[in-house]
Chains A and B, each alone.
Chain A
Amino acid sequence: GAGVSQTPSNKVTEKGKYVELRCDPISGHTALYWYRQSLGQGPEFLIYFQGTGAADDSGLPNDRFFAVRPEGSVSTLKIQRTERGDSAVYLCASSETSYADTQYFGPGTRLTVL
């Protein structure tokens, strides 16, 4: 079946602009995760959804970052007033359950803030 998909694959924006990154998880997966990966580092957790609700948003760096999953499937990560330090690859993953289950990752969105 289809894996996790993310759009766009690349996003270039100017400092101060607003961006939205989209994630389509594997159908039927209840848990959805957002991570951020900088060059040479492992992915760092941002936010986790169980169904429609954000079960843990402790990884969001500040209040410029927000994510939603209104119908329990597709999720959108929103970044306001982008800064150059936000440049990274944003990865989305989903798992069938939220009990330490196998996570399946999408290809990522490379965000560049000029």
Chain B
Amino acid sequence: KQEVTQIPAALSVPEGENLVLNCSFTDSAIYNLQWFRQDPGKGLTSLLLIQSSQREQTSGRLNASLDKSSGRSTLYIAASQPGDSATYLCAVYFNQAGTALIFGKGTTLSVSS
């Protein structure tokens, strides 16, 4: 069964810390992987899409890495801010075409000032 797992389920850090969110998936033969942010009661905001041929993708203070052989992706957030507090979701395309994303349950991040 194709599954996506995110650990930890929740994380609390003080403002200014660098942090890493983890995502693992059961099938190394994935295509693309997408990271999202979800604020309470809101929809999902796309942060980054990493294509299967890439190892890293960067956007501002965010850096996402992909290691297909180990079935893992990480989202690195530099110099965290209270505004980063949200739930971060990892989602995987297990096929290239004609398929939907399979999501993890997310990591809820709280950054205190």
Binding site for B on A (CB under 8 A): 4, 33, 35, 40-45, 48, 50, 55-56, 59, 91, 93, 98-108
CB < 8 Å: which of B96, B99, B103 contacts A42? B103
Q: Which chain A positions have C-beta within 8 A of B43?
A: 4, 91, 105-108
What is the distance, in angstroms, from B46's C-beta to the closest C-beta of chain A? 6
Q: Which chain B positions have C-beta within 8 A of A41?
A: 105
Cα A34 to Cα B44 in complex, Å, equals 13
Q: Which chain A positions have C-beta within 8 A of B106?
A: 42
Q: Which chain B positions have C-beta within 8 A of A93?
A: 44
**Interface status of B109 (Cβ within 8 A of chain A):** no
What is the distance, in angstroms, from B35's C-beta to the closest C-beta of chain A? 11
In the complex, number of A-B residue pairs with CB atoms less than 8 Å apart: 68
Interface residues on B, range: 20 to 34
What is the distance, in angstroms, from B36's C-beta to the closest C-beta of chain A? 8
**Interface status of B62 (Cβ within 8 A of chain A):** no
Known: A100-B93, A105-B43. A56 touches B103 (CB 8 A): no
Contact B97–A100 (Cβ < 8 Å):
yes
Q: Which chain B positions have C-beta within 8 A of A108?
A: 42-43
**Interface status of B63 (Cβ within 8 A of chain A):** no
**5 nearest A-B pairs in the assembled complex, by CB-CB distance:** A42-B103, A100-B93, A105-B44, A45-B100, A107-B43
Cα A106 to Cα B44 in complex, Å, equals 7
CB < 8 Å: which of A4, A35, A107 contacts B42? A107
Cα A48 to Cα B89 in complex, Å, equals 20
Cα A100 to Cα B54 in complex, Å, equals 14
What is the distance, in angstroms, from A110's C-beta to the closest C-beta of chain B? 8
Q: Which chain B positions have C-beta within 8 A of A105?
A: 36, 43-46
What is the distance, in angstroms, from B80's C-beta to the closest C-beta of chain A? 22
Cα A31 to Cα B79 in complex, Å, equals 36
Known: A42-B91, A105-B43. A56 touches B105 (CB 8 A): no
Contact B44–A98 (Cβ < 8 Å):
no
Cα A55 to Cα B99 in complex, Å, equals 8
Cα A45 to Cα B31 in complex, Å, equals 17
Q: Which chain B positions have C-beta within 8 A of A50?
A: 98
